[in-house]
Amino acid sequence: MPIYEYRCSDCDTKFEKLVSFSRANKQPACPNCCGEETHKLLSTFASVRGGADDSGASSVSSGGGCSGCGGGNCSSCH
């Protein structure tokens, strides 16, 4: 089951909810004010690249680029 992010129009609370696919089109009540005017938000996420550096930690990237610059604009990857 996916986790969706919602915002309540009544109290402006942002919350997450684990929702089955069969209920994905139904808006849940706000956990803060029990309001029914909630709206699904567009969520972003980070991806984890395979491999590890010398410290054993995985590299996390949210954009393009080479492994040397981590997605920025540098002279080595143009």
Indicate whether 23 belongs to any domain. yes
Indicate whether 14 belongs to any domain. yes
Which residues touch 16 (CB under 8 Å, ≥6 apart)? 3, 4, 5, 6
Indicate whether 19 belongs to any domain. yes
Indicate whether 46 belongs to any domain. no
Indicate whether 30 belongs to any domain. yes
Indicate whether 55 belongs to any domain. no
- The letter for the amino acid at 43 is S
If one counts the domains in the chain, the total is 1
**Mean pLDDT for the stretch of residues 52-78:** 52
Statement: the pTM of the whole predicted model exceeds 0.75: no
Indicate whether 22 belongs to any domain. yes
Q: How many Cα atoms within 13 Å fall on the side-chain side of residue 12?
A: 0
Bigger pLDDT: 2 vs 78:
2
Range of the domain at 17: 3-40
Burial call 20-37: b when 16+ CB within 10 Å, e when fewer: eeeeeeebeebeeeeeee
pLDDT tens digits for 2-59?
889 999 999 999 999 998 988 888 999 999 999 999 999 987 777 777 765 545 554 4
Distance of CA 26 to the CA centre of its chain: 20
Indicate whether 73 belongs to any domain. no
